[in-house]
Chains A and B, each alone.
Chain A
Amino acid sequence: MELLSGADMIARFLQDEGIEYIYGYPGGSVLHIYDALFRQDKVKHILVRHEQAAAHMADGYARATGKAGTVLVTSGPGATNTITGIATAFTDSIPMVVLCGQVPSTLVGEDAFQETDMMGVSRPVVKHNLTVRHPSEIPEILKKAYYLAQTGRPGPVVVDIPKDMTTPNERYEYVYPKSVKLRSYNPVLRGHAGQIKKAVDMLLAAKRPILYAGGGVILGKASDKLTELARLLDYPVTNTLMGLGGYPATDRQHLGMLGMHGSYEANMAMHHADLIVSIGARFDDRVTNAIEKFCPGARIVHIDIDPASISKTVEVDVPIVGPVDSVLSEMLVLIKESKLSIDKDALAAWWKSIEEWKQFHGGRYESCDEHIKPQKVIEALYKVTKGDAFVTSDVGQHQMFAAQYYKFDKPNRWINSGGLGTMGFGFPAAMGVKLNFPDHDVVCVTGEGSIQMNIQELSTCKQYDLPVKVLILNNGTLGMVKQWQDMNYESRHAQSYMKSLPDFTKLVEAYGHVGLEVDKLEDLESTLEKAFSMKDKLVFINVHVDPHEHVYPMQVARGSMNDMWLSKTERT
């Protein structure tokens, strides 16, 4: 029997759980835990410069690997600083465990120094939160936290640890719990066979089908199954912003992203489909546009692990609750066994329409001699990184351009805050990815607005030698805000222009990194080549792009899916 203090139990548990890196920031309430971490060398701690970045680092790691990232912060401000990071992970169903210090249990409720009710503060943005009431509970509570975070519909779990639970001289028995069971939590492991059969019959009978695949395909590791299904049937696939990479983007059957800034062909195909099979997607408002006008001729099959996602916004005809991987596998078996066959003529006619839509728009954008087009920058990035980089982004126009013009052929490579839309996410997320994939190209595509929301992490990158690449589409404005102001507020640019931007090159040099500037299109590719050839350097590439560019297509507000602006002057 091994006796350990609460603090040592935490360090030991993290080792036993196979956690290699944790991201955090010390403070009074977690000093016992930091001391325990200091006395071992298996779990490595990354000291960020702001706790929000710790959560985003853990999140980036989780999105790239599918495993929960781990955060350790102190009570009060340390804990509350992680809230945006936790909410970001929650909205996109990302597994994460956040260990928060708390004031000693004897002081809880007395407004002690650095006391915040983290259980209450975090409650609406976590999958679950747990508080430690006795040191001996620590192994089981931590096991529960990782189990909850990583199973079912994943999400962040907060563990609140009062300081007196980690007192060094109070030791209790430690046994690593290999598994944990909760009577009130039983994630579904298989879809309903009858519903799956019904869905397969509908799939085979469809004349104008489309597979609408979301982030659940990536979280549920079902990209291969989705690809197999689509290819077997020769049906078109569209991805949500969260689902990019879940189906190879360079494949003929891929119609690109759908929704507000989705491709013309994806939105047209959705609107005209007679069958939509939603796979791990949630009919988000940025996808559907006006619900009452959503895809009027379509019957809908919805596969999702979370029953609450089904018929939440759009009423569906055949709900299937289950892990997408297992449901798609069962569908494949049934399709292969089925005596029914698809309507080849109808499908050929459907593909003909889709090809015409592809030809009609094809992701075109106006060229310009005076400025570098932001789309061009992403195309160059795609070329230089051979389409194989991990790309993180912040939020705004650059995010949409990256989603539209970087063709992700693999899952887990596109890492962005899709649901919450958190500016400041991309850079620390890239750091979390790079730390765990040191041999891969990792690039954060960002804007001059977003990058300044977590720019202090340049210092963390120096300390731990994290040679990520940061690519700024610098248009000198909060581009997406400006675009909306151009379109809806007669170009009154209220607070969307940032005066006195820093000299980014000097700034990154001050932190010990390399800064490059691009003003001319002819220098773009060579500069990117140069940046990515510096494997062991963080390179910050500041590209001055067209300040007037808008992201298109753009769905017309309160319209149907196929109601789009295609340029500043053309509307469907």
Chain B
Amino acid sequence: MRRIISVLLENEPGALSRVVGLFSQRNYNIETLTVAATEDPTLSRMTVTTSGSDKIIEQITKQLNKLIEVVKLVDLTEGTHIERELMLIKVKAAGSQRSEVKRTVEIFRGQIVDVTSSVYTVQLAGNSGKLDAFIQAIGDTCILEVVRSGVSGIARGEKILSL
């Protein structure tokens, strides 16, 4: 099952490599990984999406917790949560395609953030499924380049992950 694990870790050189190393070393799967400093510059917030049996996920969280630089972590998928991913996608937009692409972007509530005579660059945010659906709707033949940020997530309601 797909899980979203949010990790607070010390914002120190090498901390990220320990997390990535752990996944490869123990044969765990990373689907996406995002990381950036938080409002407290000594802390980074990392979101990892992974998949595996309950037993594997339990090991992943335990092994992550064992890393000295990991301060706290939560499996967001255990509760209600919001997940977002940002995509920048360059698509062919010439002739009759232009209006068709624009309409699809509007349906998905995306924005065209850069334009040339033959190319639109579209920005789209949402959960990963929505971005997948957009890619499908636009169709392979139109797509020139896709950049996805990986998933960021946060728990719903008053639950917070902080020190």
Q: Which residues of A contact B (CB under 8 A)?
A: 119-120, 123-124, 127-129, 131, 148, 182-185, 306-308, 311-312, 315
Least CB distance, A133 to chain B, in whole angstroms: 9
Q: Which residues of B contact A (CB under 8 A)?
A: 9-10, 13-14, 17-18, 21, 25, 55, 58-59, 62-63, 65-66, 68-71, 163
Complex: chain A residue closest to B25, CB-CB: A124
Taking a contact as CB atoms under 8 Å apart, the answer to whether B68 and A183 are in contact is: no
Determine the chain B residues whose CB is within 8 A of the CB of A129 once the complex forms.
14
Taking a contact as CB atoms under 8 Å apart, the answer to whether B68 and A128 are in contact is: yes
Determine the chain B residues whose CB is within 8 A of the CB of A312 once the complex forms.
59
Determine the chain A residues whose CB is within 8 A of the CB of B55 once the complex forms.
311, 315
Taking a contact as CB atoms under 8 Å apart, the answer to whether A311 and B18 are in contact is: no
Determine the chain A residues whose CB is within 8 A of the CB of B65 once the complex forms.
307-308
Taking a contact as CB atoms under 8 Å apart, the answer to whether B69 and A123 are in contact is: no
A185 to B70, CA, bound (A): 8
A-B contact count (CB 8 A): 37
Least CB distance, A311 to chain B, in whole angstroms: 7
Least CB distance, A71 to chain B, in whole angstroms: 20
A124-B21, A312-B59 known, 20 other contacts, Cβ within 8 Å: A120-B17, A123-B17, A128-B68, A129-B14, A131-B13, A148-B68, A182-B68, A183-B71, A183-B163, A184-B9, A184-B69, A184-B70, A307-B62, A307-B65, A308-B59, A308-B63, A308-B66, A311-B55, A311-B58, A315-B55
Least CB distance, B161 to chain A, in whole angstroms: 14
Least CB distance, A116 to chain B, in whole angstroms: 15
Taking a contact as CB atoms under 8 Å apart, the answer to whether B66 and A119 are in contact is: no
Determine the chain A residues whose CB is within 8 A of the CB of B17 once the complex forms.
120, 123
Complex: chain A residue closest to B163, CB-CB: A183
Provide a sorted-by-A list of 26 A–B residue pairs whose CB atoms are within 8 angstroms.
Answer: A119-B14, A123-B14, A123-B17, A123-B18, A124-B21, A124-B25, A127-B68, A129-B14, A131-B14, A182-B68, A183-B71, A183-B163, A184-B9, A184-B10, A184-B68, A184-B69, A184-B70, A184-B71, A185-B68, A307-B62, A307-B65, A308-B59, A308-B62, A308-B65, A311-B58, A315-B55
Determine the chain B residues whose CB is within 8 A of the CB of A148 once the complex forms.
68
A311 to B69, CA, bound (A): 24
A315 to B25, CA, bound (A): 22
Determine the chain B residues whose CB is within 8 A of the CB of A120 once the complex forms.
17
A311 to B62, CA, bound (A): 11
Determine the chain B residues whose CB is within 8 A of the CB of A131 once the complex forms.
13-14
Least CB distance, B36 to chain A, in whole angstroms: 18
Complex: chain B residue closest to A119, CB-CB: B14
- The list of the 9 closest CB pairs from A to B, nearest first, reads A308-B62, A184-B71, A128-B68, A124-B25, A307-B62, A185-B68, A308-B63, A308-B66, A123-B21
Determine the chain B residues whose CB is within 8 A of the CB of A127 once the complex forms.
68
A123 to B17, CA, bound (A): 9
Determine the chain A residues whose CB is within 8 A of the CB of B13 once the complex forms.
131
Complex: chain B residue closest to A185, CB-CB: B68
A307 to B59, CA, bound (A): 9
A148 to B66, CA, bound (A): 12
Least CB distance, B5 to chain A, in whole angstroms: 15
Determine the chain A residues whose CB is within 8 A of the CB of B21 once the complex forms.
123-124
Taking a contact as CB atoms under 8 Å apart, the answer to whether A306 and B66 are in contact is: yes
Determine the chain B residues whose CB is within 8 A of the CB of A306 once the complex forms.
66
A53 to B104, CA, bound (A): 67
Among B9, B68, B163, find the residue whose CB has the most chain A CB atoms closer than 10 A. B68
Among A120, A308, A312, find the residue whose CB has the most chain B CB atoms closer than 10 A. A308
A86 to B104, CA, bound (A): 57
A315 to B68, CA, bound (A): 26
Determine the chain A residues whose CB is within 8 A of the CB of B62 once the complex forms.
307-308
A312 to B55, CA, bound (A): 8
Least CB distance, A551 to chain B, in whole angstroms: 31
A120 to B17, CA, bound (A): 8
A557 to B97, CA, bound (A): 64
A355 to B130, CA, bound (A): 67
Least CB distance, A499 to chain B, in whole angstroms: 38
Determine the chain B residues whose CB is within 8 A of the CB of A185 once the complex forms.
68
Least CB distance, A323 to chain B, in whole angstroms: 16
Complex: chain A residue closest to B24, CB-CB: A124
Determine the chain B residues whose CB is within 8 A of the CB of A123 once the complex forms.
14, 17-18, 21
Determine the chain A residues whose CB is within 8 A of the CB of B59 once the complex forms.
308, 312
Complex: chain B residue closest to A160, CB-CB: B14
A182 to B18, CA, bound (A): 17
